[in-house]
Structure 1
């Protein structure tokens, strides 16, 4: 059980595996201002940047779970770098079925709601670990503009227009799930550019070092078209944000 290699190549330099800068991640932590000692569960945690930096900045404790062995190894190294290895732990596993052994003050899934087959299922999964009065964090795409055709939809990593909602409808969906939206921090164009453009550089460096690898033709084709596709479609039509929810 592991993440396909192509994903770890694309995002080999990323600390945050979503269109979210370190400044926005810090803004979210400051906005929530969790009390020291708050326990956090981060499902599909990637390389653990949120859990590690918040452990440093807000004295949280907690656990991150991810399917990628590469990401988990990087997260553990990051915890040591930031001096928080005694407060956070990282487990390799399938986040889609993970429930905390004890209730947590923050239950998060940032940008991977596929683990619950969408926002609704992911909210229900996170609720199973949440202490009374705790906060759920969901990172999720939304339509910034109405996609005009199927080409645009697929270029934004969707199959149909219904895969994502406009921002007002996404917030209404959280309400229908019995949640109050109590905070949100949204990606902007610069955050999208930092996320996407870093992938291009990672791919180019990998191609230069691995010209005969079996993935080289696939990644060469991707790099040839990705920059124009990003600015034509994803950057303009697709929004992304992290939403803080509390049960009503």
Structure 2
């Protein structure tokens, strides 16, 4: 079983691949597309969950998603058909950093996918290249809520605290107009859902040759969360506008 298949199983009960609950997703999307007829782009869309929810809630919205995973894009296509929004969704199978858009977008999304661009600021640079004047960016990024252990730093990389993260964004030419810091409940629910779904699948398929590996993986990831980063790692979603629309 490959990494994509494992990830799909892990996110069975939490299809948003970030520690953000349904109410928070709805509120962030309302703030990101205030008119309801915007053009929306998701860089690193995965299974398209953010786009599908935006399209379902806004019948005049148009969306495009970019991802390197064929399996995830097929999942997004099937989801769009199920919701009846497939005519307003275009999906691109390519690296998000290589995508070139013919027209700008009113909202550019990248939640939990900044690693694809090499970090927060490179992701914002990519978003800027696709953004229409007056448009918004919805970006999700991890931060250190408390001083991390060296093991946690090795797992998550060179993150800053929340205030410094926002300062870096502002210094890069952006103004936050809204945001959401994941609550302890959102953070915990996400981890329980992921590793619980993986463990449940393994227990429900004892004859499958991948079952022992998935159960071991679920146990190891749950232990890492509880012992290494639960008390230190946080997650923030920011809705940003360019401080100036000049290049």
RMSD (Å), alpha carbons: 2.1
Q: TM-score, structure 2 length as denominator?
A: 0.88
Residues in 1 aligned to 2:8 and 2:145: alpha-carbon distance in whole angstroms:
28
Deviations 1:168-197 (A, max 9, x none): 000010111111111111211221222211
69-78 or 3-12: which moved more? 3-12
Cα contact 1:44–1:112 (8 A) shared by 2 = yes
Deviations 1:4-38 (A, max 9, x none): 44333433443201111111100112233421320
53-62 or 114-123: which moved more? 53-62
Where does structure 2 lack aligned partners over 5 or more consecutive residues?
none
* Map 1:43-192 → 2, pairs under 5 A: 43-58=43-58, 59-147=60-148, 149-154=149-154, 157-159=155-157, 163-192=158-187
Aligned to 1:236: 231
Residues in 2 aligned to 1:22 and 1:43: alpha-carbon distance in whole angstroms:
20
Aligned to 1:21: 21
* Map 1:207-246 → 2, pairs under 5 A: 207-208=202-203, 209=205, 211-213=207-209, 215-246=210-241
Deviations 1:28-80 (A, max 9, x none): 12233421320011011121121111122233211011122222122112222
174-183 or 63-72: which moved more? 63-72
Cα contact 1:68–1:92 (8 A) shared by 2 = yes
Q: TM-score, structure 1 length as denominator?
A: 0.87
12-21 or 126-135: which moved more? 12-21
Cα contact 1:41–1:107 (8 A) shared by 2 = yes
61-70 or 200-209: which moved more? 200-209
Residues in 1 aligned to 2:48 and 2:206: alpha-carbon distance in whole angstroms:
27
Give the deviation of 1:207 after TM superposition.
2.0
Residue 245 of structure 2 is aligned to residue 247 of structure 1: no
Q: How many residues matched?
A: 240
Residues in 2 aligned to 1:101 and 1:201: alpha-carbon distance in whole angstroms:
42
User: CA distance change for structure 1 residues 13 and 89 in 2, over 3 Å: closer, same or farther?
Assistant: farther
Residues in 2 aligned to 1:61 and 1:12: alpha-carbon distance in whole angstroms:
26
Residues in 2 aligned to 1:13 and 1:67: alpha-carbon distance in whole angstroms:
23
Give the deviation of 1:121 after TM superposition.
0.8
* Map 1:198-209 → 2, pairs under 5 A: 198-208=193-203, 209=205
Cα contact 1:3–1:68 (8 A) shared by 2 = no
